[in-house]
Amino acid sequence: MDAGGSAIKGIAASTLIPGASSKRVAIVHTEWNAAIISALVGGAVAELRRHGVREENILVTTVPGAFELPFGARAAMSSVGGAPPHVVICVGCLIKGATMHFEYISEAVCQGIMRLNTSTNVPVIFGVLECLTEHQAQERAGLAPGGHNHGVEWAASALKMASVAERL
């Protein structure tokens, strides 16, 4: 618990990550739930910049929906500033509706991103909110009172995983 009495979750993003300034990062995001996505991408980009990642080394690409994220991530692996990225962050937001569509898309996106992680040498960060309500998504994008923008942790995770991949 922190001093305010709330549970702390996620990774520590406050410490600057050594070597981050030289990293190339691709962010692939969806068009669906635009306000939530915009906040998450903004949080990720701000965190990358805070760690010293140069603007020209951040490539932001849009795909129509979450199902297209694995393809977009694979395509983004080809070039950021003339060289392959060190890491890709997939950002999306799925909100459960009245049909099975949510479950099918969620599973496909999870599996697609996992396959990229096991079949390429570029880490791919799973930055996809899978929420039961729009309010839950707003909280996780930092758009609702008491919420927190998870894009910040995704960016810190990306830089940490880029460092891991470099060492292997």
Tens digits of residue pLDDT in 72-99: 999 999 876 678 999 999 999 999 999 9
Q: What's the CATH number where 42 sits?
A: 3.40.50.960
Express each pLDDT in 99-119 by its tens digit: 999 999 999 999 999 999 999
Q: Is residue 10 in a domain?
A: no
Q: Is residue 28 in a domain?
A: no
Reply yes or no on whether 101 is catalytic.
yes
Specify the pTM: 0.92
Candidates 29, 51, 86, 101; catalytic one: 101
Express each pLDDT in 34-70 by its tens digit: 999 999 999 999 999 999 999 999 999 999 999 999 9
Please tell me the distance from the alpha carbon of residue 96 to that of residue 133, in angstroms, as a whole number: 7
Q: Is residue 116 in a domain?
A: yes
Specify the number of domains making up the chain.
1
Express each pLDDT in 3-46 by its tens digit: 433 345 666 656 888 889 999 999 999 999 999 999 999 999 99
For residues 73-111, b (16+ Cβ closer than 10 Å) or e, as one string?
bbebbeebeeebbbbbbbbbbbbbeeeeebeebbeebee
Give the domain extent around 72. Answer: 34-167
